[in-house]
Structure 1
Amino acid sequence: TYLLTYLLRTYVRTYVRTYVRTYVRTYVTYVRTYVRTTYVRTYVRTYVRTYVRTYVRTYVRTYVRTYVRTYVRTYVRTYVRTYVRTYVRTTTTTTTTTTYVRTYVRTYVRTYVRTYVRTYVRTYVRTYVRTYGTYVRTYGT
Structure 2
Amino acid sequence: MLGDSPIAWKTKKQDTVSFSSAESEYRAMAFTTRELKWNHELLSCFDISHKQVMRFYCDNKAALYIAANPVFHERTKHIERDFHYIRDEIVKDSIATSHVRTTEQPADIFTKALAFQQFSYLRRKLGIRDLHAPT
TM bucket by the smaller chain? under 0.3
* Structure 1 length-normalised TM: 0.15
Structure with the higher strand share, 1 or 2: 1
- Structure with bigger RCO (C-alpha 8 Å, 6+ apart): 1
In our comparison, the structure showing a higher alpha carbon Rg is 1
TM-score (norm 2): 0.16
